[in-house]
Amino acid sequence: MSEAVLLLLRLRGRQLRAQMVYWGRVLGVFGPEGELASGFQRVYRWYIALFLAGWVVLAWEALLSAAYEAPHLGLPAVLVPLLGHALPLLVLLGQVALAVLALLQSPLQMSAADRAYLAGSPVSRRAWLAVDFARGLLPWLAGSAPAGAALAVLLTGRYAAAWAGTPAALLLVVFAQALAWALGLARLTSARKTGRAALWLLPAAALACGFGLWPGVRRPGEALVRAMVAPPGAGGGAGAALGFLALLAAGALLLLLLVAGAVDARLAAEASAASVEFGDMRALRRLDPGLARRLKRRLALRSARALGRLPGAEGWWALPARVGVGFLRQPGRLLGLLATGAALLAAVGLVVRPEARGAWMAWLLMWLSRPPRSLVDWLEEAAQEPFLRRLVPWSALPLLAGDALLPGLVLAVLGGPVAALLGASAPAAGAVPGAAAAAGGGGLAGALVALLLYWALIALAALTQGVAVLGGEIGGTAARGSADLLFGLLAFGTVLLLGAQAASPLAALLAALAFDGLLAWSWGRPRRAPAEAEGEARAEAEE
Amino acid sequence: MRDLTYAYGDYRAVDGVSFELGAGELVALVGRNGAGKSTLLECLAGWRRPDGGRVRFLGRRLEEDEARFRAGVLLVPDTPPFYDELTAWEHLAFVARLRRRPPGEWQPEAERLLRRFTLWEQRNGYPYAFSRGMRTKLAVAVALVARPRALLLDEPFGPLDPLSAADLWEELSAYAAGGGAAPGSAAPDGAGPGAAVLLSSHRLPAGVEPARMLVLEQGRLLAQGSPDALRETYALGEADPDAILRAALVAARRAQP
């Protein structure tokens, strides 16, 4: 194995050198190929290397100075401690993002020559992947070292903290990348594992843990902060944190090597080829979006073997996995959903306090002008894409459950305290007779009713939008705009009127559930079979 | 190989193909454009996962012993890729080292091959600057230096001039007869001397007479056998091997209801 490692290191070293020379030429630092071999050019290369080394030292010093001075240059004083508190969670988010990227695109990016000479050779997979991992890690290390040092100085206001911050950041990056690679490669160990739900749900599960279920997943980030802020000579606090991070990094590397030994080169080659082509497509999208879209459809169809092994539309886990991956791929959607949740909570507050009728009428109008969408939006997009259409859950029930439950789960964690505050500040009796009667009054009752209403409302949002989108786009049964308006007015109008006019959140909830049942029943009509839709999509793509 | 199947979506590029290759055999896989030759070779070489059927090398599947499979089976694709950063000679060295061949063994062989393929003068040149024919010859030289027990070549004659094609054919014939193990040493896997060579082509150059021919059409094996046996089957007299492909296609068309 060591012989293979040396051989591959030499190959990758040559490629790195060629890349540097190329950029040197592009920037005009080096002359043409012939000149590069001359004695003068050799000396000149050394001069450039020394110049760059000097520049790196100066830039490093300037960066640390900037970090040290930042609190004195108008940066709000509250931001620095806030950053320290948020860092473990931010680290976790970064880890999850890396893991998702590794799952979506093979972490191993092979060139055509790699596919022919390495994937088709008996060379040790561990040696090959270890070398390529190290190569992929280089830019991350180069970026994380100054970032870690600057962050440590910013958090502590001491230059000396950079000495602990740099290795801590480096170790953390090794840990996070090795873990992401191990996860990405795990799905390439056999064709059966490429779509295994457990692998795809791991990042989402880690995220859920980080937000309260098991805070242990935030420990790497906490160790980073500890290593950075430990005061000098404080009984080896920084040393212990660094040791912990080193242990994590070593463990993740070991895991990576274990997984690497089992990678199926055929799967890795297919996934790598497909993700390279998709990568090229991103550049084209900027130049000609229409052409890129058409090509992407064909490519997606062709690459379905390699990348199409996302969790399918079968099984109980299909929807959470699809949506979980969707959230992580497009965090903007999650933010939008949280904003919607906040608006809904505000609406719940309005229902709980029926005296603010003018306010909730305005809110209702706002809602109808731009209804909240989440899953249904994706499904609408998915329905346009022949490749993704296969992943659209065909049964209405899991779709509705997903659209209501997933944002609900997120908001129960994040918005729960807000709802409790709202409930606690609401009048215990009189103003909210339904709530008081239902739960015996008090802040807790208000909070519970608020949450119940919130769930009912979001379920209705899913229903109305789902009916409109799936009915109009897939089933071809209804005009979407009118369906939006009709169901929106019927459902939300009734629920809110009942909630406010009858001053009973329980009545509103019952009405919401009645609408749920009505719409779910109407959804039970037979629609086109997935196979038929897929066939049409393929014909469309072939056109 | 038994009942091999591979589909691109609904289109079956390879449809239930079965045959065996023996050590010392030089076999030509012929068929029209799009017949499924390249896909079949890529499945055989372990570049693609077949949808159905099994490929066994010396009795074992790729999944059972990947290192042995990869050491023994090598494919030269239709458009051979090269590293932009390595010269022609460095490619030979890289592959020989990957396969742990001692320098004293592979270097004289590599030199002989480069001289035979008129590439010796360009050994320090970069393949990206070579013509298509030169690249094909270099890819075959690299493959021969790797000494696989089963050598698969996809359209090796396509970009070659007649003289180079004749040279290549001679080299492949000699390799099939005695390749797969270092000269003078026993075969490492105990499978006997010689290598199996399977090359695909839609047109065989003049003078090329493989030991066996496999005729592929729309992913299915239409006919297989020695050229003489196939000539007899289709009553072709002394016709060249290319005529066999045409005759097999005509016969298949007539046989259709």
pLDDT digits (tens, 9 = 90+) for A478-529: 444 455 455 555 655 666 666 555 555 566 656 655 665 565 555 444 344 4
**What tokens appear for A190 in the block?**
């056999």
Q: What is the mean pLDDT of residues A367-381?
A: 47
Nearest by CB: B81 against A4, A116, A191: A116
Cβ of A7 within 8 Å of Cβ of B97? The answer is yes
Which region holds residue B180: left if phi is over 0, alpha if psi is between -120 and 50, else beta?
A: left
Interface test with A, best of B6, B66, B69, B140 (most A CBs within 10 A): B66
Decide if A397 contacts A490 (C-beta within 8 A): no
Chain B residues lying within 8 Å of A116, measured CB to CB: 75, 77, 80-81
Cβ of A14 within 8 Å of Cβ of B84? The answer is no
Chain A residues lying within 8 Å of B82, measured CB to CB: 113
Residues 6+ apart with CB under 8 A from A13: none
Chain A residues lying within 8 Å of B81, measured CB to CB: 111-113, 115-116
Closest to B197 measured CA to CA, from B55, B108, B73: B73
Confidence of residue A57 (pLDDT cuts 50, 70, 90): confident
Q: What are phi and psi of A476, to 5 degrees?
A: 65, 35
Cβ of B9 within 8 Å of Cβ of A301? The answer is yes
Summarised one tens digit per residue, pLDDT across range B220-253 is 998 888 888 888 888 877 777 778 888 888 887 7
Decide if A379 contacts A386 (C-beta within 8 A): no
Q: Is the dihedral of CA B216, B217, B223, B227 positive or negative?
A: negative
Decide if B142 contacts B106 (C-beta within 8 A): no
Decide if A523 contacts A396 (C-beta within 8 A): yes
Interface test with A, best of B98, B99, B138 (most A CBs within 10 A): B98
**DSSP per residue over A243-272, as a string?**
HHHHHHHHHHHHHHHHHHTT--HHHHHHHH
Closest to A225 measured CA to CA, from A238, A244, A213: A238
Q: In chain A, whose CA is at the least distance from the CA of B94? A: A7
Query: Is 80 exceeded by the pLDDT of residue B90?
Result: yes
Give me the helix-helix angle, A396-414 and A416-425, nearest 10°.
70
Chain B residues interacting with chain A (CB cutoff of 8 angstroms): 8-10, 45-49, 66-68, 70-71, 74-75, 77, 80-86, 94-95, 97-100, 146
Percentage helix, strand, coil, to 5, in chain B?
40, 20, 40
SS3 category, B97: helix
**What tokens appear for B122 in the block?**
């360009």
- What is the SS3 assignment for A391-406? CCCCCHHHHHHHHHHH
State the average pLDDT for chain A: 67
The whole-model pTM stands at 0.66
Measure A310 CA to nearest chain B CA, in Å: 17
Query: Is 60 exceeded by the pLDDT of residue B184?
Result: no
Chain A residues lying within 8 Å of B67, measured CB to CB: 122
Closest to A418 measured CA to CA, from A454, A467, A379: A454
Q: What is the mean pLDDT of residues A353-371?
A: 48
Dist. CA A195–CA B229, nearest whole Å = 48
Amino acid at B83: Y
SS3 category, B24: coil
Higher per-residue confidence, B207 vs B4: B4
| Range ranked top by mean pLDDT from A18-32, A83-97, A273-287, B105-119 | B105-119
Contacts 24+ apart (CB under 8 A), A398-401: A398/A316, A398/A318, A398/A319, A399/A319, A399/A375, A399/A462, A399/A466, A399/A470, A400/A459, A400/A462, A400/A463, A400/A466, A400/A516, A400/A520, A401/A319
Residues 6+ apart with CB under 8 A from A12: A131, A132, A135
Measure A19 CA to nearest chain B CA, in Å: 9
* The pLDDT value given to residue B156: 92
* The pLDDT value given to residue A404: 52
Confidence of residue B60 (pLDDT cuts 50, 70, 90): confident
Cβ of A121 within 8 Å of Cβ of B70? The answer is yes
Question: How far is CA A406 from each of CA A329, A368, A382, B185, B201, rounded to the nearest angstrom?
Answer: 15, 22, 18, 66, 56
CA angle (B83, B88, B93) in 5-degree steps: 85
Chain A residues lying within 8 Å of B83, measured CB to CB: 11, 15, 111, 113, 117
- The Cβ of residue A247 has, within 10 Å, a number of other Cβ atoms equal to 13
Nearest by CB: B77 against A3, A116, A301: A116
Cβ of A191 within 8 Å of Cβ of B49? The answer is yes
Cβ of A15 within 8 Å of Cβ of B83? The answer is yes
* The pLDDT value given to residue B252: 77
Confidence of residue A181 (pLDDT cuts 50, 70, 90): very high
Measure B209 CA to nearest chain A CA, in Å: 29
Instruction: List the single range of A411-425, A462-476, B57-71 with lowest mean pLDDT.
Output: A462-476
Q: In chain A, whose CA is at the least distance from the CA of B51? A: A305
Q: What is the mean pLDDT of residues A282-298?
A: 63
Nearest by CB: B98 against A123, A269, A270: A123
Q: Which stretches of A261-312 are DSSP H helices?
A: 265-287, 289-302, 304-307
